[in-house]
Amino acid sequence: MSGSFTREADGLSKVRHPNLVCLFGYCDDGSDQYLVYEYCANGNLAQNLLRSDSVLSWPTRVKILRDCASVLRFLHTHSDGCIVHRDIKLTNILLTEDMEPKLSDFGLAKMLQMEETKVFTDVRGTIGYMDPEYITHSKLTCASDIYSFGVVVLQLLSGRKVIELDIVARDSLTKKAKDVVTGKKPLDEFIDSRVRDEVNIEDFVLILKIGVLCVAHSSVGRPTIKDVYEEMDKAWRNTNTKFVTKSSSSI
C-alpha cells in the first residue's frame, strides 16, 4: 500500500461531522486500494433534483443547503487547518434514507495549514463548479469552495436540470441570478416551478442573495463560510417555523 494512500485514509478517518460521509476504513488487495464509506440510500442530490416521480420540497432544499454550509464551516475552520474540498457539486452531496445530506468524495481535498493560499500545478475539480481564480491562477483558498457551493445554491433554487455544468451553463445560471437580484429580471423567472407554491419569498430572496455573493468572480467579494452558514441557518429556521405552522393549521 502506498504511503500517500495510507496517510490520506488515516487523515480522512479522523475528520468526522454529521453531514460528512463517514469513512469506515480502507482495504488493499494487492493491486487495488479501496476506501469504504457509509451507504447513503437516496443517492446524490443531482439524481433527486432530476427525478420525475417526486420533487424535493422547498423545506428539504433549504435544510440541505443549511446542513451543507454547516459541514463546510466545520472543514474550513478545522483545528488542524482549513480543509478545502475542491469538488463541491450536486453529485458529491449524498442523501440518506431520511434525506440528510452528506458531503462526499474527498479524493481532491487539500488541507491548507497556516497559509491562506496555496498554488497547485494540478488544477483539479469539475469545471462548471470551479472558482475562476483557481482555474486562472491555480490559487486554492477556502473561497474556492464558497464559489462551488454558490453554484449548488443557485441550482437548488432554480431547479436547473443539469448534472455536470460546463462553463457556458454556469455563466448562464449565475448571470440570470445576478440579473434577478439587481432587478433586471423578475424573481419568478428563477424559482423552480415545481416548488413555487411552497416557497416563502423572503427566504428565497435571502438565499438567492447569498448564492450570488458566493459566485462573485473575485474571492475578495465572497462571504466567509461562517457568514454563509448564519444566513442559511436563519433561512432554515424561518422556513421550518412557517412550514410547521402551516402544517398544524391544516390539520
Give the type of residue at 240: N
Continuous H helices in 88-224: 132-137, 142-158, 167-181, 201-214
Whether 190 and 176 have beta carbons less than 8 Å apart is answered as yes
Question: Does 192 participate in catalysis according to the annotation?
Answer: no
The three three-digit cell numbers of residue 234, written as one number: 436563519
If we measure between CA atoms, which residue out of 100, 97, 77 comes closest to residue 15? Answer: 77
* 23-28 vs 33-37, strand pairing mode: antiparallel
Cα–Cα distance, 158 to 229 (Å, whole number): 20
67, 87, 131, 145: which one is catalytic?
87
Whether 45 and 91 have beta carbons less than 8 Å apart is answered as yes
Bridge partner residues of 26 (DSSP): 35
**Residues annotated as catalytic (active site), given as ranges:** 87
